[in-house]
């Protein structure tokens, strides 16, 4: 027995020595958890026992069900060609680097991926992070000072909100997609640098930032534009270049942050792409980059292969757009309220949290895997089923989901 194990035994078998404090913690959290359950907003995790795909299996059943709630927009999460390439680089480069980038954590494949991402977006350079949450956490604090000002859409993703909280700039929040409110704040600002921060696509509602008009305001008031493109990169816009392509302002956004963990293979990783001076500065000052392990080779391989595919063809991008139109048109015709714009995020609005949870459970019994979203993920009274369409869904699978929605909707009196 080790000396450490003997010490644990002497202290009571490894139990925390501050029993009263731990008891208090359990009671406080237990009360809050009970409240979450009573409100019908407790989020249970279903355990998937297969690879991520349009058809999956879940724990407790061998029956395959249709998955309509993944960020797997291009259907590449289990693409055989990508998996094989990832295996090849895993064998060549190893499991990981055991280091941050600037010490001994940069391989040639990391630089290759950064260059390909920059090429895809038409930017000068790119910096990789462990996630886009890290990319958002690492940019505002690094580049903004108390002399600067940042203007954030009130419905921006939590990672943007948290990243802005870390910086010392003057913080302004404008009403959701409200250009008049944004312009008023820009006009009144005396910030040295003015940075407008917005999601390109807002993930809970599937609606789109008015990017062309934001760019116009930025030019008028000498501001910079930052866009988080996590729910746009690779599949939104004519060739998958995201919101700036969709809104015809290609190359006019100053800073783009996005992810490798959604459409681009579904593994992990995020990035910032933009001017070379910005990227070089972030390598020196961005804390999540400086103090986090580098992306493992197998994950880098996924990004590399997906980038090659997207640079060569827009076929998958066009397919997800076609599938999206099919689902939205049929669901609206059936009487459902589908929020957002022509985007693969298709929120089926229900309002009540318990109804959303019940609706999702009923869909699962019919072989369709969707999730009910409720407060605090979305505002009170705006619970919904967030459906996400993939290029990998067949027309028959989309029609099957629509049929199940109609059947459950009628049984729960959501539609006639």
| Residue 280 and residue 235 in one domain | yes
Is 220 a domain residue?
yes
The pLDDT of residue 15 = 57
Q: Alpha-carbon distance 250 to 239, whole Å?
A: 12
State the catalytic residue, choosing from 157, 194, 262, 382. Answer: 262
Is 254 a domain residue?
yes
Task: Mark whether 262 is an active-site residue.
Answer: yes
Last residue of a domain, one of 257, 291, 312: 312
| Residue 295 and residue 357 in one domain | no
Q: Quick one: tokens of 211?
A: 């990017």
The pLDDT of residue 60 = 84
Provide the 10 A C-beta neighbour count for residue 334: 17
Is pLDDT above 60 for 371?
Answer: yes
| Residue 229 and residue 332 in one domain | no
Stretch among 92-96, 249-253, 339-343, 377-381 having the lowest mean pLDDT: 377-381
Task: Mark whether 121 is an active-site residue.
Answer: no
In 123-254, where does DSSP find H-type helix?
132-143, 158-166, 179-188, 211-220, 243-246
| Residue 302 and residue 323 in one domain | no
Is 206 a domain residue?
yes
Last residue of a domain, one of 312, 328, 353: 312
Percent of the chain at pLDDT > 70 equals 96
Tens-digit pLDDT profile for residues 81-98: 999 999 999 999 999 999
Nearest Cα neighbor of 252 from 121, 107, 389, 346 is: 121
Tens-digit pLDDT profile for residues 186-240: 999 999 999 999 999 999 889 999 999 999 999 999 999 999 999 999 999 999 9
| Residue 267 and residue 243 in one domain | yes
Q: Which helix (H) or strand (E) holds 398?
A: helix 395-411
- Asked if residue 297 lies in contact with residue 94, where contact means CB atoms within 8 angstroms, the answer is yes
| Residue 65 and residue 102 in one domain | no
Stretch among 43-57, 164-178, 204-218, 287-301 having the lowest mean pLDDT: 43-57
The pLDDT of residue 5 = 55
Burial of 100: CB neighbours in 10 Å, binned 0-12, 13-18, 19+: middle
State the catalytic residue, choosing from 110, 121, 157, 231. Answer: 231
Last residue of a domain, one of 312, 337, 356: 312
Percent of the chain at pLDDT > 90 equals 87
DSSP letters spanning 36-99 = HHHTT---PPPPB-S-SSSEE-BTT--S-EEE-S-S-TTS-TT-HHHHHHHHHHHHHH-S--SS
CATH of the domain at 184: 3.40.640.10
Q: Alpha-carbon distance 34 to 181, whole Å?
A: 40
Q: pLDDT band for position 9 (50/70/90)?
A: low
| Residue 321 and residue 295 in one domain | no
Q: Quick one: tokens of 114?
A: 């950064």
β-pairing, 125-129 vs 270-274, is antiparallel
Task: Mark whether 170 is an active-site residue.
Answer: no
| Residue 186 and residue 148 in one domain | yes
Q: pLDDT band for position 377 (50/70/90)?
A: confident
State the catalytic residue, choosing from 86, 203, 258, 357. Answer: 203
Which residue range forms the structural domain that includes residue 331?
43-72+314-412
* CA-based torsion, 22, 26, 28, 29: positive or negative: positive
| Residue 291 and residue 181 in one domain | yes
Is 100 a domain residue?
yes
Taking residues 140-158, report their average pLDDT: 97
Q: pTM of the full predicted structure?
A: 0.91
In 148-291, where does DSSP find H-type helix?
158-166, 179-188, 211-220, 243-246, 276-285, 287-290
CATH of the domain at 399: 3.90.1150.10
Provide the 10 A C-beta neighbour count for residue 6: 10
| Residue 229 and residue 155 in one domain | yes
Structurally, the chain folds into a number of domains equal to: 2
| Residue 193 and residue 149 in one domain | yes
Is 294 a domain residue?
yes
Is 9 a domain residue?
no
| Residue 307 and residue 394 in one domain | no
Is 38 a domain residue?
no
């Amino acid at each position: 027995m080790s000396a450490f194990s003997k010490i644990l035994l002497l202290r009571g078998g490894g139990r925390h020595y501050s029993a009263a404090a731990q008891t208090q913690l359990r009671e406080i959290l237990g009360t809050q958890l009970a409240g979450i359950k009573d409100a019908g907003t407790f989020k249970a995790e279903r355990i998937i026992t297969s690879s991520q795909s349009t058809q999956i299996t879940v724990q407790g059943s061998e029956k395959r069900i249709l998955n309509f709630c993944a960020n797997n927009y291009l259907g590449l999460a289990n693409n055989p060609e990508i998996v094989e390439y990832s295996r090849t680089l895993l064998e060549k480069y190893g499991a990981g680097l055991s280091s941050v980038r600037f010490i001994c954590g940069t391989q040639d494949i990391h630089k290759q991926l950064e260059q390909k991402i920059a090429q895809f977006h038409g930017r000068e350079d790119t910096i990789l992070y462990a996630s886009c949450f890290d990319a958002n956490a690492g940019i505002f604090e690094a580049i903004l000072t108390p002399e600067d000002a940042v203007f954030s859409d009130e419905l921006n993703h939590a990672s943007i909100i948290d990243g802005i909280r870390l910086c010392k700039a003057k913080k302004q929040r404008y009403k959701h997609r409200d250009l008049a409110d944004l312009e008023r704040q820009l006009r009144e600002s005396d910030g040295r640098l003015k940075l407008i921060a917005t999601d390109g696509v807002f993930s809970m509602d599937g609606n789109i930032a008015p990017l062309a008009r934001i760019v116009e305001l930025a030019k008028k008031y000498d501001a910079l534009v930052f866009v988080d493109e996590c729910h746009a990169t690779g599949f939104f816009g004519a060739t998958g270049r995201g919101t700036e392509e969709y809104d015809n302002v290609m190359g006019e956004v100053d800073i783009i942050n996005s992810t490798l963990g959604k459409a681009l293979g579904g593994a992990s990783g995020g990035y910032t792409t933009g001017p070379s001076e910005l990227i070089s500065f972030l390598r020196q000052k961005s804390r999540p980059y400086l103090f986090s392990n580098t992306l493992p080779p197998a994950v880098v391989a996924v990004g590399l292969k997906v980038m090659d595919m997207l640079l060569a063809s827009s076929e998958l991008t066009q397919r997800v757009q076609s599938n999206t139109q099919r689902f939205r048109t049929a669901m609206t015709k059936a009487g459902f309220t589908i929020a957002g714009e022509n985007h693969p995020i298709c929120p089926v609005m229900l309002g009540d949290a318990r109804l959303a949870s019940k609706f999702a459970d009923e869909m699962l019994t019919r072989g369709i895997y969707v999730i009910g979203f409720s407060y605090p993920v979305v505002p009170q009274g705006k619970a919904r089923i967030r459906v996400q369409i993939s290029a990998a869904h067949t027309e028959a699978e989309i029609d099957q989901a629509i049929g199940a929605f109609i059947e459950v909707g009628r049984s729960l009196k959501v539609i006639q």
